[in-house]
Amino acid sequence: MSVDLDLTDVLSEFVRTMLTDFPIQGMLDQLVGRTVELLPITSAGVTLISADNAPRCIAASDESALRFEQMQTELNEGPCLAAYLGGEPIVVANLAEERRFPKFAPRGMEEGLAAVVALPLGHDSHQLGALNLYMDVPGHLNQTDMKTAQTLAYVAAAFLLNAQIRLDLQVSSAQAIEESLHDPLTSLPNRKLMFERLNKAIIRTRKAGHTLAVFFIDLDQFKGTNDEHGHRAGDELLVAVAGRLNGLLRSRDTVSRISGDEFVILFDDLDGRSAVEAVAERVKGALSGRFVLSECVVSTTASIGIAIRDRLDEPVEELLRIADEAMYKAKRAGGNRFHIAEER
């Protein structure tokens, strides 16, 4: 079977793999293995290089290739780095006569290396590293073999770029999901995420019999802060309030900003009404007093409505409505207080 036919089979194999949810390490290991099968070389390796990170070998056909890759990183010298920096193939036909790499050449020969070809991996100005071909006897690759080697380097670069794009898309998607569930100003969970967590808490409470409490919080005189000091100060106050509320919570509790100056806190395992009242006093106290902002100092208080449930039959929306209604009773009573809705 000819080299060209073998190369065609390998390229077809890689293209099919790239269309799947391929594992990056398995693909690279396969690539260096196929490279040794296709070319008259002893071993092969791939090293990634970037301006921000030290070179690192990510695939090697055998232990000797791994040593040669690591040796160049250790010495900060060799055909791999030169190919990456210059963007052109580096051919060392006889390491014994090589003068460009005075540290790498003698070390490589001690390990049985005689010749090296390093091919840069990248696209245009975006260089990724190098595909390195190692031989235990001196000599050049012929024109056909060099063409095959260059094609394999293109395949490796395409695969790495594809993998990076896929990773970027995954990160971007995860960030988009995260952003869709959080308030952009305070970074607290938003209404959607609060509803999700409240639904899960209801299930846990039904199983464990704990007391679940929903605090609906509205800042008193928030409009006055905006009118007197501007919306920037109002936004800073909301961020500061979020920070104070976060500081009161256990890791299993959730505080969210659901709109404007309205916050909701979920406690799903308090020990009865007395524990709820003690927590409510702490929340009220944390929000009563001075907030030092960038350009002014403001004082505020909060009205808090609380819905307590040991048995949960209402939907989430009804539970929030009950807490909201209790908050308005606290506000109508003068604010700076909490009101616990009677269980129906």
- Nearest CA to 267 out of 311, 211, 319, 312 is that of 211
Beta strands at 297-309 and 337-340: parallel, antiparallel or unpaired: parallel
In the block, which residue shows the tokens 């000091």?
Answer: 229
Alpha carbon dihedral 318, 285, 339, 320, in 10-degree steps, equals 0
Q: For residue 311, how many C-alpha atoms fall within 13 Å in the half-sphere facing its CB?
A: 3
| Residue 204 CB neighbours (<10 A) | 14
Which residues form the catalytic set? 261
Pairwise CA distance, residues 344 & 324, whole Å = 15
Alpha-carbon torsion 266, 270, 275, 276, what sign? positive
Pairwise CA distance, residues 225 & 32, whole Å = 66
- Residue 181 tokens read as 């569930």
Q: Does residue 87 contact residue 80 with C-beta atoms inside 8 Å?
A: no
Alpha-carbon torsion 225, 229, 234, 240, what sign? negative
Pairwise CA distance, residues 239 & 186, whole Å = 5
How many helices (H) and strands (E) would you count in the chain?
11, 11
